[in-house]
Amino acid sequence: MTEDYCFKNKIETEEQLRQLIGFPSKLVNKKVISYLDRNCLEFISHSPFLVMSTSDKYGFCDVSPRGDHAGFVQVINEKHLIIPERPGNKRIDSMRNLLSNSRIGLLFFIPGLGETLRVNGKASIVTDDDLLNKMAIKGKKPLLGIGVEVEECFIHCAKAFIRSGLWDPGSWTEKGLLPSASKMLFEHANLPNTSVDSIQDRLNESYSKRLY
C-alpha cells in the first residue's frame, strides 16, 4: 500500500498549516532561552529519564530513551551537559547518527510532573576521563558520554500527559494484558533454537546483571 493511497490530503506549506493551527502566543514565542538557567538546572537535577532524538545525514531519524538516578545528566556549565552512555544492545543508533549529523533534541521527564523540559543543540561523542569518572556507578564509569552544546531550552506544557493519563495509575492497563517484549522479540527476530521463555531469561539476566 503506497503512501499516496493512504494519505490523500496533505499539508504542503507552512501557510496551509498556519491556516489550520494559527500562531503561538507572545508567552510561547518568548519562552525559549539559549542556555541552562537555574530553572533548567533544577529540572535536570530531578530528572531520572529523557528521550533523545537524532538523525543521520540522510534524515533517517531515531528516538532513544536514557535513564538512571535523578540528576544522572551532568551539567558542566550553562551551555554544556553530558549524558552517560550505559551498557545497551550495542546497536548504537543514536551515536552512529551523531557521527554524521551533530543535531540533537532532548526531552527531560520528572515522574508525576506533566511539564517536560526540551533542550536542543549540537552533540558529540566524548571519552574525557575527568567527566566520565564523575558518572561512575558501582565503580563502573561509562565508556562514553554524549556531550551536548545547548542552543535552545524551553518548558513544554502538560496537555499530552493530561490527555494520556500517563502518571495516573487508575488509567494503566493490567500488567498481564500488556504486550510481551519477549514474545515480540521472538516473533520479529525469528531465530532458530530460541523460545519466548529463553528470550525472557536473557532479558531478565540483562536487567539484573548488566545495567552498568
- Average pLDDT in the 42-53 region? 98
The enclosing H or E element of 20 equals helix 14-21
What DSSP letter does each residue of 37-86 carry, written as one string?
Answer: -HHHHHHHHT--EEEEEEE-TT--EEEEEEE-STT-SEEEETTEEEEEE-
pTM assigned to the model: 0.94
Residue with cell 540522510: 58
Domains of the chain: 30-164 (2.30.110.10), 173-209 (no CATH)
Whether the pLDDT of residue 117 is over 80: the answer is yes
**Rounded percentage of the chain residues whose pLDDT exceeds 90:** 96
pLDDT band with cut points at 50, 70 and 90 for residue 4: low
| Selection from 160, 158, 155, 157 nearest residue 42 by Cα | 155
Average pLDDT, rounded, for the chain: 96
Nearest to 152 by CA among 22, 70, 50, 29: 29
Per residue in 92-103, pLDDT (tens digit) is 999 999 999 999
